[in-house]
Structure 1
Amino acid sequence: MSDKIVKRKSLEVKVACLQMDIKIGDTENNIKKSVRMINEAADNKAVLIVLPEMANSGYAFDNREEAIALAEDIQDSISVKSWIKVAHDRNVYIVSGITEIDGVDLYNTAVLIGPNGLIGKYRKLHLWEEEFLWFEQGNLGLPVFHTPIGRIGMIICYDMWFPETYRILAAQGTDIICIPTNWTNNETLPNNMKNFGPILAMAAAHSSGIYIAAADRVGTEREMVFPGRSLIVKTSGISIAGPADDTEQIIYGDCNFARTRAHGQNKYNSTKKDRRLDIYDEFLGYK
Structure 2
Amino acid sequence: MREIVIGGAQMGPIQKAESRTEVVARMLALLDQAAGAGCDLVVYPELALTTFFPRYWMDDASEIDAWFEAEMPNDATRPLFDRARAHGIAITFGYAEKTPEGRHFNTSILTDRAGAVVGKYRKVHLPGHSEYDPDRAFQHLEKRYFEPGDLGFPVWRNLDAWMGMCICNDRRWPEVYREMGLQGVELVMLGYNTPSVNSQNGAEGLKERLYHSELSMTAGAYQNATWVVGVAKAGDEDGHPLMAGSIIVDPNGYVVARAQTEGDELIVHACDMDACTFGKTTIFDFARHRRIEHYGRITSQTGVVLPE
Common fold: TM-score over 0.5: yes
Distance 1:275-1:249 versus aligned 2 partners, 3 A rule: same
Whether 1:269 and 2:280 are equivalent positions in the alignment is: no
Q: Distance in 2 between matches of 1:219 and 1:101?
A: 27
| DSSP 3-state at the match of 1:74 | coil
Q: Distance in 2 between matches of 1:115 and 1:168?
A: 26
Whether 1:28 and 2:21 are equivalent positions in the alignment is: yes
User: Match of 2:43?
Assistant: 50
Aligned residues: 274
Question: Please, which of 84, 87, 100 is the counterpart of residue 84 of structure 2?
Answer: 87
Q: Distance in 2 between matches of 1:241 and 1:127?
A: 28
CA positional deviation for 1:143: 0.9
> Is the CA contact 1:124–1:156 (under 8 Å) kept in the aligned structure 2?
yes
The one-letter code sitting in structure 2 at the alignment partner of 1:128 is P
User: Match of 1:237?
Assistant: 253
Q: Distance in 1 between matches of 2:66 and 2:19?
A: 12
CA positional deviation for 1:89: 0.5
User: Match of 1:60?
Assistant: 53
Post-superposition CA distance 1:230-269 (Å, at most 9, x none): 000001111000153323311112211112233259xx63
Q: Distance in 2 between matches of 1:282 and 1:113?
A: 36
Question: Please, which of 271, 285, 294 is the counterpart of residue 279 of structure 1?
Answer: 294
> Is the CA contact 2:44–2:231 (under 8 Å) kept in the aligned structure 1?
yes
Q: Distance in 1 between matches of 2:273 and 2:299?
A: 25
Question: Please, which of 12, 15, 18 is the counterpart of residue 6 of structure 2?
Answer: 15
What TM-score, normalized by structure 2, do the two folds share?
Answer: 0.82
CA positional deviation for 1:105: 1.5
| DSSP 3-state at the match of 1:167 | helix
The one-letter code sitting in structure 2 at the alignment partner of 1:49 is V
Question: Please, which of 203, 222, 243 is the counterpart of residue 188 of structure 1?
Answer: 203
Whether 1:203 and 2:201 are equivalent positions in the alignment is: no
Identity %: 23
> Is the CA contact 1:143–1:153 (under 8 Å) kept in the aligned structure 2?
yes
CA RMSD of aligned residues (A): 2.3
Distance 1:193-1:16 versus aligned 2 partners, 3 A rule: farther
> Is the CA contact 1:84–1:118 (under 8 Å) kept in the aligned structure 2?
no
Post-superposition CA distance 1:201-235 (Å, at most 9, x none): 11111111111000101221243211211000001
Distance 1:74-1:261 versus aligned 2 partners, 3 A rule: farther
Q: Which runs of 5+ in 1 are unaligned?
A: 1-8
> Is the CA contact 2:246–2:259 (under 8 Å) kept in the aligned structure 1?
yes
> Is the CA contact 2:196–2:205 (under 8 Å) kept in the aligned structure 1?
no
User: Match of 1:73?
Assistant: 70
| DSSP 3-state at the match of 1:262 | helix
> Is the CA contact 1:23–1:30 (under 8 Å) kept in the aligned structure 2?
no
Distance 1:88-1:229 versus aligned 2 partners, 3 A rule: same
Distance 1:20-1:105 versus aligned 2 partners, 3 A rule: same
CA positional deviation for 1:84: 2.0
Q: Name segments (4+ residues, structure 1) moved above 4 Å.
A: 189-194, 282-285
Q: Distance in 2 between matches of 1:255 and 1:225?
A: 31
Distance 1:284-1:232 versus aligned 2 partners, 3 A rule: farther
The one-letter code sitting in structure 1 at the alignment partner of 2:192 is T
User: Match of 1:128?
Assistant: 127
Q: Which runs of 5+ in 2 are unaligned?
A: 129-140, 301-308
CA positional deviation for 1:192: 4.8
The one-letter code sitting in structure 2 at the alignment partner of 1:45 is G
Distance 1:134-1:279 versus aligned 2 partners, 3 A rule: same
Q: Distance in 1 between matches of 2:274 and 2:31?
A: 25
Whether 1:178 and 2:186 are equivalent positions in the alignment is: no
The one-letter code sitting in structure 1 at the alignment partner of 2:164 is G
The one-letter code sitting in structure 2 at the alignment partner of 1:23 is Q
Q: Distance in 2 between matches of 1:83 and 1:284?
A: 40
User: Match of 2:306?
Assistant: none
